[in-house]
């Protein structure tokens, strides 16, 4: 890969905590846009994400809603400038039959969610509900198609149902169900985790299956579909190599990548009340995302040097053990400052690899895993992760500013990772720099030569007194963004001092 195509990251291991951190604006020969779709979200039929989360039902008189969707959630997601929303799974997608979720709600068959809790769902939230929600949010829908247990015709019919404007059996059915114009859904996942819950397929077998299904997904109304293949689990680089070899470029726009910040799948640890050692190990696991994206990108570059196929990280985030005493739903977990650091670190990684990473979806939007929103009856709160996504929205569709980062180490016992991660962009004459101090003990002073005189700098910070702090329904604003002033702009140099476990976004102009 040519140097001017890439993000320059210089890490000097063995440097002690007092070492100076420097960030320089690197040479930029090409214009790279940080796609807004990197800031996407994910809503699976899982636990309380959809039912008793996003959707409370049209007959609910206690919680203000629009067509059954909570108004407070709509407002919160709009504030994030949510660019896309992935649905209905996840593992659920490969057992979901879309025709069960359209038509009169009283006539829809019930379904047992075999993947998540064995609960019975009434299919009251279906295709129309989801796509209409996306319209209200101003977000692009990202539909995950059923390849595991569904047939080719079923997926082809779904594409026709939501996208075909003319006269056909599926578009006529859509009109009978109350929608005249098609939604023109662009983003389609062709199966989910084909290596696991999507069918336990080999890479070679799935590549052939993908080719078959993708062939029958028609580009109706001259709108080209953005077909996304079920990509690798973490560092399975052979999966990426096989798909790049076997799938023709005209059939694929993106390869998915799923990677969760998990230290030990058999003992994922607590969402709160974690130790310094657990914190460090979680940060190390999160930083591994950078290496994976680099290696998957190197493989894709061999077959696609023009970067026409995107790397789509459509499941990412922290995953902890559910508290046995917690009855709020499957995979419900609290969200601390540790999760804010994970969010800031990963978004910096995605921004810096924006040439190849064109979409990402945090798992998940409401009440599941690293959620941005938690609900409890009529109550709702915004998590620290939500606030990071809101602070970082300035990068959406902005021009990447490549950085050279020389970071001190964050060391625990004999292991180290960079203490500082950063990314930067420019839009409308304003440069934004997002900084994360991963170290939970040591403040970091960062020097940034600006190469030109800027007139002013402002900033916001997300931090707290303790890394275990989190927002609660009794006190929902323990952690929220505050004005940040601990920086000095003089001549052509910006000096910033960031407290431990903090996320800062600067604006200079």
Give the catalytic positions in this structure: 193, 315
How far apart are the C-alpha atoms of 329 and 383, rounded to whole Å? 17
**What gap in Å lies between CA 72 and CA 366, rounded to an integer?**
12
What are the residues whose beta carbons fall under 8 Å from the beta carbon of 266, sequence distance 6 or more?
Answer: none
Contact 64, 74 (CB under 8 A): no
DSSP-derived secondary structure letter, 243: H
DSSP string for 373-407? EEEETTEEEE-HHHHHHHHHGGGTTEEE--EEEEE
For 509, half-sphere exposure in the C-beta direction (CA atoms, 13 angstrom radius) is 8
CB neighbours of 96 closer than 8 A, spacing ≥ 6?
45, 88, 89, 111, 146
Helix (H) or strand (E) holding 232: strand 226-233
The residues, ordered by sequence, that sit 6+ positions from 460 with a Cβ below 8 Å of its Cβ are 391, 481, 482, 483, 484, 504, 505
Cis, peptide link before residue 364, omega less than 30° from 0:
yes
Residue 9 is classified by DSSP as E
Q: How many CA atoms lie within 13 A of 18 on its CB side?
A: 0
Cα separation, 495 vs 445, whole angstroms: 7
């Amino acid at each position: 890969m040519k140097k001017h195509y890439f993000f320059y990251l210089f890490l000097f291991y063995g440097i002690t905590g007092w070492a100076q951190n420097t960030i320089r604006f690197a040479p930029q020969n090409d214009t790279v846009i940080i796609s807004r779709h990197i800031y996407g979200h994910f809503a699976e039929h899982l636990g309380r994400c959809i039912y008793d989360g996003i959707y409370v039902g049209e007959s609910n008189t206690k919680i203000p809603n629009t067509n059954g969707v909570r108004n407070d959630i709509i407002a919160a997601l709009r504030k994030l400038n949510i660019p896309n929303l992935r649905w209905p799974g996840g593992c659920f997608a490969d057992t979901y039959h879309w025709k069960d979720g359209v038509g009169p709600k009283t006539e829809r068959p019930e379904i047992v969610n075999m993947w998540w809790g064995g609960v019975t769902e009434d299919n009251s939230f279906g295709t129309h509900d989801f796509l209409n929600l996306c319209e209200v949010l101003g977000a692009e829908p990202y539909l995950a198609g059923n390849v595991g247990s569904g047939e080719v015709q079923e997926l082809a019919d779904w594409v026709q149902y939501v996208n075909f404007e003319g006269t056909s059996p599926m578009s006529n059915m859509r009109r009978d169900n109350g929608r005249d114009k098609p939604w023109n859904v662009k983003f389609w996942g062709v199966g989910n985790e084909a290596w696991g819950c999507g069918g336990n397929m080999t890479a070679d077998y799935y590549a052939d299956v993908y080719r078959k299904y993708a062939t029958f997904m028609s580009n109706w109304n001259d709108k080209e579909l953005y077909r996304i293949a079920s990509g690798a689990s973490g560092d399975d680089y052979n999966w990426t190599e096989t798909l790049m070899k076997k799938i023709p470029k005209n059939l694929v726009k993106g390869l998915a990548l799923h990677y969760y910040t998990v230290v030990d799948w058999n003992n994922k640890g607590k969402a709160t009340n974690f130790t310094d050692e657990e914190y460090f190990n979680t940060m190390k696991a999160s930083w591994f995302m950078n290496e994976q994206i680099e290696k998957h990108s190197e493989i894709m570059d061999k077959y696609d040097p023009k970067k026409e196929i995107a790397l789509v990280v459509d499941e990412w985030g922290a995953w902890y053990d559910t508290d046995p005493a917690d009855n709020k739903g499957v995979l419900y977990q609290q969200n601390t400052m540790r999760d804010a650091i994970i969010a800031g670190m990963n978004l910096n990684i995605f921004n810096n690899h924006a040439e190849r990473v064109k979409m990402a979806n945090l798992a998940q939007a409401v009440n599941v895993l690293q959620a941005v929103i938690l609900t409890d009856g009529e109550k709702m709160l915004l998590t620290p992760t939500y606030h990071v996504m809101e602070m970082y929205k300035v990068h959406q569709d902005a021009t990447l500013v490549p950085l050279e980062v020389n970071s001190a180490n964050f060391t625990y016992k004999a292991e180290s990772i960079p203490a500082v991660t950063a990314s930067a962009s420019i839009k409308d004459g304003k440069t934004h720099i997002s900084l994360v101090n991963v170290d939970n003990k040591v403040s970091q002073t960062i020097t940034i030569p600006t190469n030109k005189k800027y007139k002013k700098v402002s900033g916001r910070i997300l931090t707290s007194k303790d890394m275990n702090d989190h927002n609660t329904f009794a006190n929902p604003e323990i952690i929220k963004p505050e004005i940040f002033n601990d920086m000095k702009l003089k001549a052509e140099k910006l000096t910033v001092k960031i407290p431990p476990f903090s996320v800062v976004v600067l604006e200079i102009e």
